[in-house]
Amino acid sequence: MKPYYQDESVTIYHGDAWSWQIGGLADAVVSDPPYGMAWDKRVSIGPNGKGRTGTRASRYGETIIGDDRPFDPSPWLAVPQVILWGSNHFAQRLPVGTILVWIKRYDDAFGSYLSDAEVGWEKGGHGVYLFRETVYKGN
């Protein structure tokens, strides 16, 4: 895999982590892996995606590679620093760690489209930390 960015102190890879061996090669992994929910990216607008049909997701209806089976985080657990987004979908397979919550909606947009927040797991620690992104205003 070709580096996405590289300088004298860091090399960043952007791509499918399944396509290369992580063990011993990475100091940190930040990933939003397939959740294991067999989702085809068809969405509906409204609370929890249960409202009227819409096509707001990028690549609407496209199959997510690897999402047809439960996600196994074990290859990443040997890496010193790890953040895995969507961890609520595979939490039972993770050790205790720090929970990260990205609130991605203004209060008046809660319940308007799929999830109001994203949950991540960080290796180590025991805290829960919130971050609110307001730049996108729920778009």
Q: Do β-strands 46-47 and 113-114 pair in parallel, antiparallel, or remain unpaired? A: parallel
pLDDT digits (tens, 9 = 90+) for 102-121: 988 777 777 766 678 889 99
Residue 138 lies in a domain: no
pLDDT digits (tens, 9 = 90+) for 60-101: 566 777 788 888 898 888 889 999 999 999 999 999 999 999
CA proximity to 82, closest of 14, 28, 129: 28
| Partners of 117 in beta bridges | 103
Range of the domain at 48: 13-132
pTM, rounded to two decimals: 0.74
DSSP states of 63-101: PPTTTTS----GGGTTSSEEEEETGGGTGGGS-SEEEEE
For the chain, how many structural domains are there in total? 1
